[in-house]
Amino acid sequence: MNMQQMIEQGTGYLLKTYSQVPVVFAKGKGCTLTDVEGKEYLDFVGGIAVNALGYGDAGLTKALTDVLDSGLLHCSNLYYNEKAIEAAKSLCTISEMDKVFFCNSGAEANEAALKLSRKFGHRDSPARTEIITMKDSFHGRTYGAVTATGQTKYHQNFDPLPQGFRYAVFNDLESVKALITKQTCAVLVEPIQGEGGVVPATKAFLQGLREICDEHDLLLIFDEVQCGMGRSGKPFAWQLYGVKPDVLTLAKALAGGVPCGAMLTNKDVASVFGPGDHASTFGGNALAAAGVCEMAHRLGDTGLCNEVTEKGEYLRTRLEGIRSKYPTLCTAVRGFGLMNGLALTIPPRQVVEACFAKGLLVLSAGSDVLRFVPPLVISTGEIEKAMVIVDEVLATLS
């Protein structure tokens, strides 16, 4: 069966919830993917910020293989498993949080945080149940998470949505203050908005949120599903800003490519939940937990994060050069570490498709941003190769 036949078969059997690029990948090595016909692609998508260690990483492969060899992939959360205990300790240590709940995805991690917030608010009488999130945010596709997402395009045709969410303007502290009532229990924010266009929060904004939450006894929740796990140049983006949340949600790169999500919190807030309040059948299974252990180990080595910072600075310097070269097409460069965006005046899809034809995988963010979230192990030479291709594509479009 050739690649086109495979795609036709996939179209016939898979529910069409994605606008998929016409390619079938067969293998990967480092930061390069190879399709079933042997063509290679330099990957600046990284599974949408998931494959932080690239493809075929020796450490991650051994960690997962050891679990497969043990035969114990899953035993349920009725019992402890060694890998989950190790993963919990390692993750809490590098995140500077106290307790963790494991699940399978970013949406699930945020759902756990929303439930925790509501139960936290129910300690008062009358109960506080309103949660403030940000416009242009993205928190997942499940009902609670998609309602928390401050983009109406994700809400259309799915009403009635859950109640109790209010949307402030990102990086506008006064807009947050204006929404606080006696019913408010939490504020949920991405330190760096991903799907909203790769927009970093200002330090003043996050510091202000911390002060507001302390003043009104609100939970401050940071969604680091995309910007966490070393992506910002620190193990976690809150450490980049020096503003610590009460609750931290993670997924994507958390287990190096194995599906895994987590909600972390401090001891006081963790005491809100008791047995039966929340659960996840596959959360903390041994295979995913082994991936978490390996990622935590690698992020604990400051060398990796330092390299992310250095390579991110190089990438942004090259992007700034491209922006200056094509001022009618490019308007801004944004980001930290290896989470970066190039704002465009043309539909990003045009650039994505042209780069794909030249063997470079990139993706969009929001309606006008070209997003770069390569594996954290990307080399300077590979960054240069990607920038040459982007330059060539923009030259043909200018």
Which DSSP category does 167 fall into?
E
Q: Residue 370, SS3?
A: strand
Kindly give the interhelix angle for 348-357 and 380-397, rounded to the nearest 10 degrees.
Answer: 120
Last residue of a domain, one of 300, 328, 349: 300
Decide if 55 contacts 26 (C-beta within 8 A). no
Let me know how long the chain is: 398
Number of domains in the chain: 2
Last residue of a domain, one of 300, 322, 356: 300
pLDDT tens-digit readout, 185-200: 999 999 999 999 999 9
What is the domain range of residue 263?
A: 59-300
Q: Are residues 292 and 311 in the same domain?
A: no
pLDDT tens-digit readout, 25-75: 999 999 999 999 999 999 999 999 999 999 999 999 999 999 999 999 999
pLDDT at 206 over 90: yes
Mean pLDDT score, 247-252? 98
Q: Are residues 269 and 352 in the same domain?
A: no
pLDDT tens-digit readout, 319-342: 999 999 999 999 999 999 999 999
* This prediction's pTM: 0.97
Task: Give the integer Cα–Cα distance in Å for 260 and 393.
Answer: 36
pLDDT at 94 over 90: yes
Last residue of a domain, one of 273, 300, 327: 300
CATH number at 196 reads: 3.40.640.10
- CA–CA distances in Å: residue 201 to residues 169, 176, 207, 211: 11, 14, 10, 15
Q: Supply the pLDDT for residue 148.
A: 98
Q: Are residues 219 and 354 in the same domain?
A: no
Q: Are residues 261 and 115 in the same domain?
A: yes
pLDDT band at 398 (very low <50, low <70, confident <90, very high): confident
pLDDT tens-digit readout, 212-224: 999 999 999 999 9
pLDDT at 301 over 90: no
Q: Are residues 245 and 130 in the same domain?
A: yes
CATH number at 25 reads: 3.90.1150.10
pLDDT tens-digit readout, 114-151: 999 999 999 999 999 999 999 999 999 999 999 999 99
Q: Are residues 10 and 85 in the same domain?
A: no
Q: Are residues 72 and 217 in the same domain?
A: yes
Count of CB atoms within 10 A of residue 226's CB? 29
Q: Supply the pLDDT for residue 302.
A: 78
pLDDT band at 393 (very low <50, low <70, confident <90, very high): very high
